[in-house]
Structure 1
Amino acid sequence: RMRGRADRRGKTVVHQLSVSLEDLYNGTTRKLSLQKNIICRKCGGCGVREGAQRRCPKCHGSGMEVRIHQLGPSMIQQIQTVCSQCQGQCEWIRPRDCCLTCNGRKVVREKKILSVHLDKGMKDGQKITFHEEGDQVPGLEPGDIIIVLDQKEHPVFRRSGDDLVVKREISLADALCGCRQLIRTLDNRTLLISSQPGDVIRPGDLRCVPNEGMPVYRSPFQKGKLILQFQVKFPEPGWLPSDRLRQLQTFFPAQEEVMATQDTQEVELSDYVAQGGPGRRPWGGDTC
């Protein structure tokens, strides 16, 4: 029963809608303009002018015709086939009888504006269905229009579920002594992010701010986390004189003493450039 009902429906039409991360964070309504078939209002979907004959004159509206083959004396064969004139459609419209509005096609193209409501927290790839808004076909229920959300890449934030991830670069001094940074949110608020002195931040470390991520879909007052991924910018070579470096070294934990034996050979480190360019690793792998 359900299959028979589905067979009487028109095709489902899928459209992609490009949206920004701000759209999915704040929620909004977007207008989508598209073209669709609607049943001709002039002829009501019959395709002919008023009073014209629609029934196929060859098969008399049955969609089938009988062909007779002579097999021999007093022997004939009757074969029922699809009508060669109407191709089984049961009707045949003469060109002069066609509806002047739809030219016998029974449908006309019309511009349709859909208002697509984006709820806070919707995700990339999520589908929004407009039931029975698809193309109209005489004798069939209209199909659906499905809108698939396509989120554009954001220059600052990356979404991970209900969390937002942002990369921040800090100096070595900030990593060791505490940092303060401003972050503009997707709803144009400004957050002052700070770490405490002594809370050492290492390259790649993650810190988070609860309830400052993406709104949870259909629970907009609940939010995920804002996750900060820190990159530490180290000083350039020669940034501090040797005497100042020795003074700075006194503030760090004592270095492990390395005992050199008589047969130890001392060498110095230099910058490494792999054969084939700096983008290659010595074991053949690619850089991240």
Structure 2
Amino acid sequence: AYKLEISLRDVDSTECNLHFIQKCFRCFCPPLFTNEYLITACVLPFLFQGYPSKTNMVKETGFYDTLGVKPNATPDELKRAYRKLALKYHPDKNPTEGEKFKQISQAYEVLSDAKKREVYDRGGEKAIKEGGTGCGGGGGSFASPMDIFDLFFGGGSRMHRERKGKNIVHQITVTLEDLYNGATRKLALQKNTICERCEGRGSRKGAAQMCMSCHGTGMQVRMHQLVPGMVQQVSTVCHSCQGQGQRISHKDRCKACGGRKILRQKKILAVHIDKGMRDGQKIVFHGEGDQEPGIEPGDIIIVLDQREHSCFTRKGEDLMMSMELQLVEALCGFKKPVQTLDNRTLLITSHPGELIKPGDTKCILNEGMPMYRRPFEKGRLIIHFSVVFPQANFLSEDKLKVLERYLPEKLDAEQPERMDDDLYIYADLEDCDLENRKRQSHQYYYMDEDDYASTGGVQCQTS
């Protein structure tokens, strides 16, 4: 260990709000232990609480005086002081004390934040304003003094409660016809609702009392020593009030909800699927999630899951399909009916002379998917064509010669003047199965490897 003699007022960048103490210091007091760093008794309160332990470190005491506490007040003392003054000077109770209530809220906003409090202790109110973290609209964490009051006294006075409940996500299966024509689905679900009988209090009016174990915050903070000189700050739900911040006697509990403040009820939602919606699109029912006193209800989010269609595939606003033609249809024209998603019948027509080749793609305008929120505008119906050729020997040799006369002339390479076996080698075409050939090649490859491995290495022998 090394010796480092500094004054406590020189301690900088202390981050005591983290779970683990990251910095240790040595003062002139006798050290509690000797290790890589030295820590002393006078520094322990500073480390555990995240605030200076000596009043001579504070440049101004105005905010502390407003709350009626000392500069070395703990967070719990600040909290209790603010609670008492906020109730006393609230505008609803004292309409003429609005400015006083604002000063109390501003003071608590700064002192309840460890970083703002450190800035204030070193430079006073001027440093807060210059640093951009001042209260009263200067970038603080609260929009108004009433926000701080609501954080304390709204929703059971639980300090760490979320301001909005969790969202509930449901998935429903839809068809391509539903997305094309629009549809309405009924969705039945269970959700928490605030008890109407007790209006979410859990008891008769005025019967609930603040929990003294957590002082109404719903949370308890404990310091757990990991090793000498290193502690962990653990926040847990208060076991006395189960995180509610208040306690209700058994005789005063609401008969309808049993003191739980909420009831489980069935809810039926009408889900309207608009024309042109897509697979995976979300339909949001704002504020329809679980209810809880003091918390804004979350949302119910419906996610559309499109079932695969037997004929059509969607790509953006276009519909895509495949159509198989016989050779005679590709050469001489065709008329084929196609059933649309809204039960109309399209007659797909190709006139004689309009040659359709294998792999050709054609489209029909305004027969695709309706555009979302513009249902009278539609995309294209895209058709991919494949041509089925007749089987071998479908015509006799005489008829083939007749057919050849009607087809375009051959554009073959130079024809031999005479068929001489000495000049040419006859090569007949056969069916070729590429996949089967590939499997055989792999099989022969592994057989060769096995044969090579079985021979073993070369050994040297001496006579």
TM tier relative to shorter chain: 0.7 to 0.9
Candidates 248, 265, 268, aligned match of 2:425: 265
What letter corresponds to residue 270 of structure 1 in structure 2? Answer: E
Structure 2 residue aligned with 1:182:
337
Candidates 403, 406, 416, aligned match of 1:248: 403
Larger RCO: 1 or 2 (CA < 8 Å, sep 6+): 1
SS in 1 for 2:276: coil
Structure 1 residues 37 and 254: CA distance shift in structure 2, 3 A: same
**Which has the higher Rg, Structure 1 or Structure 2?**
2
Say what the alpha-carbon RMSD is for the aligned residues. 3.2
Does the 8 Å contact 1:206/1:229 carry over to 2?
yes
Does the 8 Å contact 1:274/1:282 carry over to 2?
no
Structure 2 residue aligned with 1:121:
276
- 1:41 is displaced (CA, Å) by 1.8
Structure 2 residue aligned with 1:225:
380
Structure 2 residue aligned with 1:40:
195
Candidates 134, 144, 159, aligned match of 2:299: 144
Does the 8 Å contact 1:48/1:54 carry over to 2?
no
Answering whether residue 358 of structure 2 is matched by residue 198 of structure 1, we say no
Structure 2 residue aligned with 1:72:
none
Candidates 233, 241, 246, aligned match of 1:91: 246
Q: Distance in 2 between matches of 1:207 and 1:2?
A: 61
Task: Give CA deviations for 1:18-72 in whole Å, capped at 9, x if unaligned.
Answer: 11111111112221111111112222222235664443355564657899xxxxx
- 1:171 is displaced (CA, Å) by 0.6
What letter corresponds to residue 311 of structure 2 in structure 1? Answer: V
**Structure 2 unmatched ranges of 5 or more:** 1-140, 152-160, 223-234, 443-463
SS in 2 for 1:213: coil
Q: How many residues align?
A: 270
What letter corresponds to residue 195 of structure 1 in structure 2? Answer: S
Bigger drift between 41-50 and 147-156 goes to 41-50
Structure 1 residue aligned with 2:327:
172
Structure 1 residues 66 and 156: CA distance shift in structure 2, 3 A: closer
Percent of aligned positions with the same letter in both sequences?
A: 52
- 1:219 is displaced (CA, Å) by 1.3
- 1:95 is displaced (CA, Å) by 4.9
Task: Give CA deviations for 1:237-274 in whole Å, capped at 9, x if unaligned.
Answer: 22111221122122222221444585432211111234
TM-score (norm 2): 0.52
TM-score (norm 1): 0.81
- 1:182 is displaced (CA, Å) by 0.4
Does the 8 Å contact 1:127/1:146 carry over to 2?
yes
- 1:208 is displaced (CA, Å) by 1.1
